Amino acid sequence: MSSSSCCIKPERGRRLCLIAALGWLCCTLPVQAANWRDDLPQARLSGSGELRWFGLQIYSATLWSSTAPFDASQPFALELTYARQISRARLVQTSIDEIRRMSGARYTQAQYSHWQEWMEQAFSDVNEGDQLIGVFLPGQGCRFYNQTQLLAQVPDPDFAQAFFNIWLDPRSKDVQLRKHLTGVP
């Protein structure tokens, strides 16, 4: 497929293709850290818990932080270990739905669209035992890792805040899991 075959109006199409390419590049640029612990060498266990849905374990979650008590304005890592198979599409859609539920009209449709694209590029289908580790870097954005490598770097502090709020905001759907992770009621 030629680069112009996806475009109806050549000038507008080239701009959209360029924007998409830049978004992909920003999300996949290699960085020095090959393991999330390289980002947070002083990280210690803050808390852990499980997400269950109708009694079925979906994943276990572990929060790592270099501050005690936990401070959401400082760098931290959230490690999810999946107990079942979940598709990338389901992970992304559930994340977007939760961000929208908690954020409402705070963000634009364009932001939600970019965030969805970034997550689609960063995440993959997961199976029992797979891990996804997100590292929050205040003022910079976040990085996503699996057990062996960096998956993506997202240079958007708004996305990072909105994404991790799924677990750490007081309005989280699972307040007990939030409490187990952070130690905050």
pLDDT in tens, 64-99: 998 989 999 999 999 999 999 999 999 999 999 999
Q: What is the mean pLDDT of residues 143-160?
A: 95
**pTM of full prediction above 0.75:** yes
Helical ranges in 123-155 per DSSP H? none
| Same domain membership, residue 128 and residue 97 | yes
The β-bridge relationship of strands 56-65 and 141-145 is: unpaired
Can you state the percent helix, strand and coil of the chain, rounding each to 5? 40, 25, 35
Number of domains in the chain: 2
CA angle (111 as vertex; 172, 184 as ends), nearest 5: 20
Contact 117, 63 (CB under 8 A): no
Whose tokens are 């007990």? That residue is 176
Residues 6+ apart with CB under 8 A from 55: none
Query: Which has the minimum average pLDDT: 11-20, 61-70, 91-100, 102-111?
Result: 11-20
| Same domain membership, residue 142 and residue 101 | yes
Token duo for residue 27? 């999300």
Percent of the chain with pLDDT over 70: 82
| Same domain membership, residue 21 and residue 55 | no
| Same domain membership, residue 139 and residue 158 | yes
| Same domain membership, residue 62 and residue 20 | no
| Same domain membership, residue 80 and residue 42 | yes
Whose tokens are 């999330």? That residue is 36
Contact 130, 91 (CB under 8 A): no
Nearest to 57 by CA among 185, 174, 172, 181: 174
d(CA 97, CA 40): 29
- Cross-sheet strand order for the sheet of 76-82: 44-53, 56-65, 76-82, 131-137, 141-145, 150-154
Backbone angles phi, psi at 171, to 5 degrees: -90, 10
| Same domain membership, residue 130 and residue 95 | yes
Domain that holds residue 166: 34-182
| Same domain membership, residue 89 and residue 40 | yes
Assess whether pLDDT exceeds 50 at residue 24.
Answer: no
| Same domain membership, residue 162 and residue 109 | yes
| Same domain membership, residue 41 and residue 70 | yes
**What are 120-146's pLDDT values in tens digits?**
999 999 999 999 999 999 999 999 999
| Same domain membership, residue 57 and residue 4 | no
Q: Which residue has the higher pLDDT, 63 or 15?
A: 63
Using alpha carbons, list the distances in angstroms from residue 91 to 47, 96, 120: 23, 9, 9
CATH number at residue 176: 3.50.70.10
Contact 129, 82 (CB under 8 A): yes
| Same domain membership, residue 141 and residue 129 | yes
What pLDDT is recorded for position 33?
58
